[in-house]
């Protein structure tokens, strides 16, 4: 259809640009369809398959007729599986009315912000942060207050910087450990220091996104806020899901646990949007949480080997500094050494977005610029890809940066 229409976007989504990540993905797909050998390292999902017993549980649920509406925010069996997981793995105890289940961790985040934010309420995001955080806060009518992490701690949030950003309007701090995109993780000491700040400001609640919990390397112990500071648990929402741990991104199943009054308010939002998460996905998620857990260690070992190799290779590229992150499946190299440089084709690399565009358009490697995550001067690579592809991507990046003439000294 062409021509003028009376279509108008609602104000609440006008500030939300179409994600640059999606735009890069589309360009990469188009280039591929034109026959270009593009390597796409933008995806935030494991390249492994969903475990076979999880698939079997889903098929059994279908055959048993579990194909109808379920309890709004999770079946009793699903909630019990979540309660069991939190108790076993995190030492946290919850009742059923303190647990909520939705269509992915993303819906849990959305429900929580929609249920709690009034116009002008502030949410502190530790940058770099997953892009959707800022957009969900914006859709919910809140104001994003980004606080950049410190390079010397792998871009983790500094407690003093957090304290300085808190105002009487601050409702939430949202933390993600291990982090998308930086891969950095908090240990008991660094998380404890953040929680000391939260303890001093009773109006501030903490949303803890633990979705990459099982992707933590070098035998580090995972630590979550509600377990570290039980005295603050009455204002902590712990969020998790099966997408990343069990390679179940397509099943859309995430969960959260926290104070009952918050969980009830979130159920109101879910009741008027999607209602219950898929009955079949809930049956599958129970099998994931209660079934054999050996795959977690196997997959973690595979990701750790890829992390070691890619971070070392990128760190050896002139103009790029790549820290070896503690977790998740991303590296987030600093490319400020390339900024201002001139490429072999005569392009001036003005910022991280030009670096990403140049790598895609001229060297067939799709990465995501750091500015998408509130942290310019970097780019993100997802190493949830075959080792041969990662090696080839590193070869291409190394060859590309070798031909960049550095910025002239002024």
Point out which residues bind ligand PMP (CB under 6 A): 44, 104-106, 130, 176, 180, 209, 211, 241, 243, 249, 254
- Which residue from 102, 121, 85 is spatially nearest to 267, judged by alpha carbons? 102
Assign 3-class secondary structure to 228-250: HCHHHHHHEEEEEECCCCCCCHH
Please, what is the minimum distance in Å from the beta carbon of residue 44 to ligand PMP? 4
Q: How many CB atoms lie within 10 A of CB 250?
A: 11
Three-state SS string over 302-361 comes to: HHHHHHHHHHHHHHCCCCCECCCCCECCEECCECCCCCCCECCCCCECCCHHHHHHHHHH
- Closer to ligand PMP by CB, 78 or 105: give it: 105
CB of 178 to ligand PMP, least distance (A): 9
Min dist CB 304 to ligand PMP, Å, is: 19
Cβ proximity to ligand PMP, 330 vs 358, nearer residue: 330
Instruction: Output the smallest distance, CB 377 to ligand PMP, in A.
Output: 21
- CA pair distance 57, 280, nearest whole angstrom: 8
Nearest to ligand PMP of 242, 404 (CB atom): 242
Of 176 and 270, CB closest to ligand PMP:
176
- Whose tokens are 């990469």? That residue is 28
Which residue in the block uniquely carries the two structure tokens 């009054």?
261
Alpha carbon distance 245, 213 (integer Å): 8
Beta carbon of residue 3, minimum distance to ligand PMP (angstroms, whole number) = 38
| Residue of minimal Cβ distance to ligand PMP | 104
Residue 328 structure tokens: 């998740």
Please state the closest distance from residue 211 (CB atom) to ligand PMP, in A. 4
Choice between 242 and 320, CB closer to ligand PMP: 242
- If the CB atoms of residues 176 and 278 are measured against ligand PMP, the closer one turns out to be 176
Q: Name the residue among 141, 142, 139, 144 with its Cα closest to residue 126.
A: 144
Sequence-ordered list of residues with C-beta below 8 angstroms from that of 146, at least 6 positions apart, any chain: 124, 125, 127, 129, 134, 374
Nearest approach in angstroms of CB 67 to ligand PMP is 22
Q: Taking the complex as a whole, how short is the minimal distance between the CB of residue 6 and ligand PMP, in angstroms?
A: 34
**Which CB sits closer to ligand PMP, 162 or 285?**
285
What are the residues whose beta carbons fall under 8 Å from the beta carbon of 261, sequence distance 6 or more?
none
- Of 277 and 376, the one with the shorter C-beta distance to ligand PMP is 277
Contacts of 221 (CB under 8 A, 6+ apart): 187, 188
């Amino acid at each position: 259809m062409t021509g003028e229409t009376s279509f108008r976007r609602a104000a609440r989504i006008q500030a939300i640009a179409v994600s640059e990540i999606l735009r890069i993905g589309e360009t990469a797909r188009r280039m591929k369809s034109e026959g270009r050998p593009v390597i796409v390292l933008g995806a935030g999902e494991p390249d492994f398959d969903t475990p076979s017993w999880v698939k079997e549980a889903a098929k059994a649920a279908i055959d048993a007729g579990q194909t109808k509406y379920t309890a709004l925010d999770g079946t009793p069996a699903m909630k019990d599986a979540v309660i069991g997981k939190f108790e076993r793995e995190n030492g946290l105890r919850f009742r059923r009315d303190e647990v909520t289940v939705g269509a992915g961790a993303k819906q849990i985040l959305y429900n929580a912000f929609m249920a709690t934010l009034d116009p002008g309420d502030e949410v502190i995001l530790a940058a770099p942060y997953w892009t959707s955080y800022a957009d969900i806060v914006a859709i919910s009518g809140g104001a994003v207050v980004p606080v950049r992490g410190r390079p010397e701690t792998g871009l983790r949030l500094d407690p003093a910087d957090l304290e300085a950003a808190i105002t009487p309007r601050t409702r939430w701090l949202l933390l993600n450990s291990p982090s998308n995109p930086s891969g950095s993780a908090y240990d008991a000491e660094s998380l404890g220091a953040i929680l000391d700040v939260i303890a001093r400001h009773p109006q501030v609640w903490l949303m803890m996104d633990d979705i990459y919990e099982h992707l933590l390397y070098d035998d580090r112990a995972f630590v979550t806020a509600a377990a570290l500071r039980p005295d603050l648990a009455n204002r902590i929402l712990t969020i998790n899901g099966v997408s990343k741990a069990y390679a179940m991104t397509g099943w859309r199943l995430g969960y959260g646990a926290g104070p009952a009054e918050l969980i009830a308010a979130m159920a109101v939002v879910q009741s008027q949007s999607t209602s219950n998460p898929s009955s079949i996905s809930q049956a599958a998620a129970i099998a994931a949480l209660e079934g054999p857990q050996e795959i977690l260690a196997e997959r973690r070992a595979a990701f750790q080997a890829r992390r070691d190799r890619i971070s070392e290779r990128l760190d050896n590229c002139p103009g790029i500094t790549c820290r070896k992150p503690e977790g998740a499946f991303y590296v987030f190299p600093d490319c400020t050494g390339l900024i201002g440089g001139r490429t072999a084709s005569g392009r001036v690399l003005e910022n991280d977005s030009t670096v990403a565009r140049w790598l895609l358009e001229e060297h067939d490697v799709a990465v995501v610029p750091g500015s998408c995550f509130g942290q310019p001067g970097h780019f993100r690579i997802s190493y949830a890809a075959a080792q041969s592809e990662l090696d080839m991507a590193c070869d291409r990046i190394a060859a590309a940066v070798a031909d960049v003439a550095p910025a002239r000294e002024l």
